[in-house]
Structure 1
Amino acid sequence: MSSQAFNLFSFSGKMKVMHLSWMAFFITFMVWFNAAPLMSVIAASLGLTHSQIKTLLILNVALTIPARVIIGMLTDRYGPRKVYSLLLGLCAIPCFMFALGTSFEQLALARFLLGFIGAGFVVGIRMVSEWFPAKELGVAEGVYAGWGNFGSAAAAFTLPAVALAFGGDDGWRYAVGLTGAISLVFAFIYYANVTDTPKGATYFKPKKAGALEVTSKKDLLLLVVMKLPMYATLALLAWKLSPSGVALLSDNTEKGIYLLLTVILAADLLQTFNVNKAVFNGSIPEFERYEFKQVAVLNVLYFTTFGSELAVVSMLPLYFAETFELGMTQAGMVASSYAFMNLMSRPGGGWLSDRFGRKSTLLILTAGLALGYLGVAQIDSSWALPLAIIMVMLCSFFVQSGEGAVFAAVPLIKRRLTGQIAGMTGAYGNVGAVFFLTVYSMVATQTFFYVIAASALFGFLTLFLLTEPKGHIAEVNEDGEVTLISVS
C-alpha cells in the first residue's frame, strides 16, 4: 500500500494509477453508450424501425450482468492490469463491427457483444483498492467511479458533433469508430503504465476459481438466493425480445434461451457448491472467515442507487419535455443535470464514508435517497422549472453519493475476492435498472418514483444488518504467510 499523500493534481505513484484507471473506465462507458446520442441518425441511415431501435438499446445492456460477474472473477485471478487492458483492446472489435454494420442483424450482434465492456468498472475497483489505504479508499474509489462514469455523458455531448464534423450519412460511423480506436490505443497505454500492486506488495488471489468463496453454510445459502435475481433479469430481457416484446426472437428461440439459462444456473450452483465444500467440514480457519451478508446488503443498495440512476437517466428527458412542454434538446440539457452530479457526488459519498464511517454514511444517504425520490414524485407542471431542477439534482446527490459509499465498503470485505464482490454488486445495479425500467413501462411516472423510494426504504432497513468494517482482513499468500490488511 502506497504511503504517498492523496493529491488529485499529482500524476505519480498511486495517483497515476487512479487517474489512468478512471480514464480507462471513462473510455469503456463512452464506447458502451456511443450509439445512444446517434441513434436517430443511425436509424435514418439504415432505415431502422422504432422496434429495432428499442431492441438495440436492450441488447446493449443484456450481456453486462453476467459480464460483470465473469470479469470480477478474471480480475481476482489474473490481476486488473491484464484484464482491463485486454477488455479495452478486445471490445474495440465489436465497436468497429457496429461502425461498419450495414444491416440490423449486424448492428444487433455488435451491440450485444459490446455489453461486455460495461463490466470494465469492476476491474478498477480492485486496482484502486490495492493502491490506497482504508482511510483514503472511499474518496479514491469515488473519484474513479464518478469521473469514469461521466464517459456516457461525454459521449452524448461530443459524438454528435464528431458525426457532424465528418458529415454525410456515414458521419455516425466515424464517431463510433473513433471511440473504438481510442479504446484500442488506451489498452496499450494502460498496460504499459500500471502495476497490480505497489512495489513489494502481494497480490492475493482466490484459492479456487469458478465461483465466489464463502465461509459458512448459511452464507452459501444466501449466495444461492442472491444469484437468482440476476438469472431472472436475464430471462426478463429475453421476454422483452420475444414476440410478446419487440419480436426480435421467435417463440422457439425464447424458450431455448429460458432452457439455456436454467442449464447455466444449474451448472453455476454446482460449481458454487464444489468451490465451497469446505463449509460443510468446518475446515476454514476463523481468521479467514467473512460474512456474506455484507455483500448481500451492498447488492441491495446498489440495486436501488445505480439501478435507479440508469433508469431515471433513460426517462428523464422525455419526462421534462412532457411535464414542462420543453423541446427535446432543451429537455435533454435540463435532464443532464442528474448525470452531471456524478463528478462530485460519488467522490463526496466516498469522502463522507472515509470520514464518518461506512454504515452511518450509508444510513444517512439511503434515507436521503428515499426522501429525494418522494420529492421528485411530487413534481408536476405547477412547479417552477428551476425548482424542479433543484429537486432532481438534490435527489441525484443522494443517489450518486450512495453509490460512492457502497463502493467505499466493497473493497473492505475480503481483499482476494474484491473483484468478484464488486462484480456481483455492479451486476445488481444493472438488475435494478432492468427492474425499474420494466416498472416504468407498466405504471404512471409518479408511481415509478414511489417504487424506487420504496426500494430505498427496504435498502435502509437491510443496512441494520451491515457490520461496520474494522480491524484487519487476514489474507494468506502462496507460501502460507498471513498478512493483515487494515480496513479502518
Structure 2
Amino acid sequence: MAQVDTPPMADLPEDAAAPVSVAPTTVDDPEFGPQPIDPETGERLFRLPVDAQHRALKLQPWRFDKPHMRAFFFAWAHFFVAFFGWFAVSPLMSTIKNSPELGLQTKKARGNSNVIAVSGTVLMRLFIGPFSDRYGPRVASGALMTVFSLPVYLIGTAFNYASFCTARFFIGFLGATFVVTQYWTSIMFAPLIVGTANATSAGWGNLGGGVTNALMPQFFNLMKAFGLNDDRAWRVVMVIPGTMSLGIGILLYFFSQDCPDGNYKDLHLSGAKQKTNPLIAMKRASLNLRSWILFLLYATCFGVELIMNANLSSYFQDEFGVDQGQAGLIASLFGLMNLFARSLGGLSSDALSKRFGMTGRLAVFFSVQFLEGI
C-alpha cells in the first residue's frame, strides 16, 4: 500500500493552521431585521432599532438618547425657542406703539414692520438649506441661534422706526430654523416614521408662537411690578428670548450630532461622506418642478399661521377691548394647537404611505390643505 506523506502543520499556511474567528457586526432583530452591534462588547450601537442607513425606525419622544432622540429633542426645542423670539414683539405691540420715537402709531407702520419680520426668514431659508447640506444641521442651528440672538437683545435699544424694523428683519432669520429642523429629523428617522418625526418636531417647535403670546405679556407685567415704566419694561423683557436663543444654540452644538454616524466635519475628514457644493444643491432644487409646487402650497399654509401669530393679540385688543395680558393668552390658543395638529398630519401621512406609498401622503396633503381653505 502506498504511503501518503502529509506535510507538518508548520508547513501549512498560517490561516489554514488556525481558523480565525470573526466577531459578528450585527444581531438579528425579529421585528426590525439586522441591527449593528459593537464587535468587542456585543452591545447594540443604537438604543433604537435602525435601518441600513442607521436611521431610527421608532420615535420615542420621552427619550434623550444620542444620536436619534437627542437630535429630535434639539430639533424641536431650538425651533420652539426661535419662534418664541421671532414673535416676542407681537403681543407687546400695543405697548410698543406708544413709544413715540419708534413711529408705530399707525396700523400701516405696524403692518409694515410685520412684513419686514417675515422677509428676513424668506431670505435666510434660501441660504440655510444648502448650508446644512454642506456643514450639517448641528452647525447650522448653532450658528442661527447664537448669531441671531443678538438682534433679539438689541431690539430693546431701538430708537426710531428704521432701527426697530432692522432688528425685526434680522430676528426673522431665526425662522429659518424650520428648514434645519426638518432636515435634521429627515436624516435621523427612516421613511417608515419620518412623517411623524417631521410633523411632531415642527409642531412642537411652532408651539413657541403660541407660548410667546401667552408669556411675554406676563413677563412684561413682571417688569412693571419691579417698578419699570411701560417703555423700559418692554425693552428689558426682550432679554429673556435673547438669552433663550443664545443658550439653546450653545447646548445643541456641544451635546448633539449631525447624523446617526457622527458629525459632518469628522465624516468629511474620514472620507465617509463627500462634501456637497451649496450652489449645485440650490440649482438642482430650483430646477425641480415639485419644489415650486410645494413652495406655493406651503406659502398658503404657513403664511396664514405667520399672519395669525403676528396679529391676533393686537386684533383682540382693538376689536374686543381686552387688555394686553388677556389678549396674549387668547391668541396663544391658536399656536398651542400645534401640540397635536401637526403630529396628526404626520401620523396620517405615515399610515397611508404604508399602504399606498407616496400617493397616500399626497392624499393626506390634499385633504388637509383643502379643508383649511374651506
Normalising by structure 2, what TM-score? 0.71
RMSD of aligned alpha carbons: 2.8
Report if the CA contact (8 A) 1:81-1:196 is conserved.
Answer: yes
C-alpha separation between the residues in 1 aligned to 2:162 and 2:292? 38
Other-structure match for 2:179? 122
Instruction: Output one character per residue of 1:355-411: Cα deviation in whole Å (capped at 9) or x when no partner.
Output: 21243243244235324433xxxxxxxxxxxxxxxxxxxxxxxxxxxxxxxxxxxxx
Q: 1:112 aligns with which of 155, 169, 173?
A: 169
- Separation in 1, partners of 2:72, 2:109: 39
Distance 1:335 1:155 in 2: 10
Secondary structure of the equivalent of 1:6?
Answer: coil
Counterpart position of 2:289: 293
Which has the higher mean CA deviation after the structures are superposed, 203-212 or 159-168?
203-212
- Greater share of helix: 1
What is the aligned partner in structure 1 of residue 89 from structure 2? 35
Q: What aligned pairs does 1:283-362 form with structure 2 within 5 A after superposition? A: 292-314=288-310, 326-328=320-322, 336-357=332-353, 358-362=358-362
- The 1:326/1:103 distance shift into structure 2, 3 A limit, reads closer
Counterpart of 2:373 in structure 1 is 373
The match for 1:210 among 252, 257, 279 is 279
Conservation of the 8 A alpha-carbon contact between 1:82 and 1:191: yes
Distance verdict in 2 for CA 1:101–1:188, change over 3 Å? same
2:73 alignment partner in structure 1 = 19
Aligned residues: 299
Aligned to 1:8: 61
Q: What amino acid is the match of 2:152?
A: C
Q: Contact 2:188–2:260 at 8 Å: present in 1 too?
A: yes
Against the structure 1 CA distance between its residues 368 and 76, is the aligned structure 2 distance closer, same or farther, given a 3 Å change threshold?
closer
Match of residue 165, structure 1, among 222, 227, 233: 222
Corresponding residue SS for 1:134: coil
Unaligned ranges ≥5, structure 1: 225-291, 375-488
2:206 and 2:171 mapped to 1: Cα distance?
Answer: 16
Q: Deviations over 1:415-437 (max 9, x none)?
A: xxxxxxxxxxxxxxxxxxxxxxx
Residue identity opposite 1:73 in structure 2: P
Structure 1 residue 23: deviation in Å? 0.7
Task: Write the letter of the residue equivalent to 2:133.
Answer: D
Distance, in Å, in 2 between the alignment partners of 1:312 and 1:92 is 23
Q: Counterpart of 1:176 in structure 2: which amino acid?
A: M
| 2: CA distance, partners of 1:313 / 1:102 | 25
Deviation at 1:129, TM superposition (A): 1.5
CA deviation map 1:179-213 (0-9, x unaligned): 11111122111111111111369685664332535
Provide closer, same or farther for how the CA distance between residues 166 and 149 of structure 1 changes in structure 2, counting only shifts above 3 A: same
Identity over aligned residues, as a percent?
Answer: 29
Query: 2:11 is matched with which residue?
Result: none
Deviation at 1:336, TM superposition (A): 4.4
Secondary structure at the counterpart of residue 199 of structure 1: coil
List runs of 5+ in structure 2 lacking aligned partners.
1-53
Rg comparison, structure with higher value:
2
Shift of 1:333: 5.3
Give the AA of the match of 1:120.
T
What is the CA–CA distance in structure 1 between the aligned matches of 2:308 and 2:290, rounded to whole Å? 27
1:99 aligns with 2:95: no
- What TM-score do you get using the length of structure 1 for normalisation? 0.56
Matched, 1:186 2:248: yes
Q: State the Cα distance separating 1:19 from its structure 2 match.
A: 0.9
